[in-house]
């Protein structure tokens, strides 16, 4: 019995977490990875890092997008996730530079959806994401992880929550950072991002047929962890 348990604990999984923006995907994915001692990959951070690269090379502005320039420089973009023991978290590195803070700026956030719609660029990101997942033992969050990147993932979760709740959470998060933005404005941005994510031509946000829906509108993080732990346990026991 004990032997079987150890064997099952050793079985490394790929956990794919997709869903709408501001649902707490990264927080959830990060916690699962910590609990399982797995690698956590925030695929949105990869698209953000590429966006920062493009901004620095002047390939994107409000009025232009130099796709040939971006594609010819794709080979110069190296993204790594490096564990920082001081904060007990992985941080995003672009060509050996820690860009974790910069990729969360409003400017990057404003440009990233245009950058992430370039098909050849997505193909490269998916290739990199699959390379990282080769050895399993990974939790990856994004929009197309369960549908495109790892269609054979062991566990697929699709996260959602009501727009009001997501806007409230985002509002509080920004308030804690000292940023005051009108609640209705946040709500509008969230709705606009949902529409953009669901309606883009390439890899639109879709729930994979075999993904389990997690609506966390009325759930605490602790409740979500209890919920996922049960699913992981079942998976490891082969049920």
Contacts to ligand DC by CB under 6 A: 21, 43-44, 47-48, 112-113, 116, 142-144
Burial class of residue 213 (count of CB atoms within 10 Å of its CB; 0-12, 13-18, 19+): exposed
The count of C-alpha atoms lying within 13 angstroms of the C-alpha of 146, restricted to the half-sphere facing its C-beta, is 21
Identify the helix (H) or strand (E) that includes residue 157: strand 155-160
Tell the smallest beta-carbon distance from residue 48 to ligand DC (Å): 6
Nearer of residues 128 and 225 to ligand DC, judged by Cβ: 128
Nearer of residues 107 and 230 to ligand DC, judged by Cβ: 107
Tell the smallest beta-carbon distance from residue 156 to ligand DC (Å): 13
Tell the smallest beta-carbon distance from residue 77 to ligand DC (Å): 15
DSSP assignment string, 61-84: -SS-B-HHHHHHHGGG--EEEEEE
Nearer of residues 119 and 226 to ligand DC, judged by Cβ: 119
The count of C-alpha atoms lying within 13 angstroms of the C-alpha of 59, restricted to the half-sphere facing its C-beta, is 21
Tell the smallest beta-carbon distance from residue 116 to ligand DC (Å): 4
Nearer of residues 47 and 90 to ligand DC, judged by Cβ: 47
What's the sign of the alpha-carbon dihedral 190, 199, 119, 60? negative
């Amino acid at each position: 019995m004990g032997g079987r348990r150890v064997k099952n604990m050793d079985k490394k999984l790929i956990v794919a977490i997709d869903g709408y923006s501001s649902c707490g995907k990264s927080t959830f994915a990060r916690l699962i990875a910590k609990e399982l001692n797995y690698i956590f990959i925030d695929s949105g951070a990869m698209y953000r890092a590429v966006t920062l690269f493009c901004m620095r090379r002047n390939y994107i502005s409000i009025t232009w997008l130099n796709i040939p320039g971006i594609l010819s420089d794709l080979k110069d973009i190296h993204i790594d996730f490096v564990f920082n023991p001081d904060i007990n978290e992985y941080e995003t590195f672009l060509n050996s530079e820690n860009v974790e803070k910069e990729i969360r700026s409003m400017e990057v956030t404003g440009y990233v959806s245009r950058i992430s719609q370039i098909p050849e660029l997505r193909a490269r990101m998916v290739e990199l994401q699959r390379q990282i997942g080769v050895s399993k033992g990974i939790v990856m969050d994004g929009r197309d992880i369960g549908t495109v990147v790892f269609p054979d993932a062991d566990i697929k979760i699709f996260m959602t929550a009501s727009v009001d709740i997501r806007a409230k959470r985002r509002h509080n998060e920004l308030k804690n950072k000292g940023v005051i933005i009108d609640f209705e404005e946040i709500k509008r941005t969230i709705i606009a991002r949902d529409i953009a994510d669901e309606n883009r031509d390439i890899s639109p946000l879709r729930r994979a047929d075999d993904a389990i829906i997690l609506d966390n509108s009325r759930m605490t993080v602790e409740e979500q962890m209890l919920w996922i732990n049960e699913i992981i346990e079942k998976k490891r026991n082969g049920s």
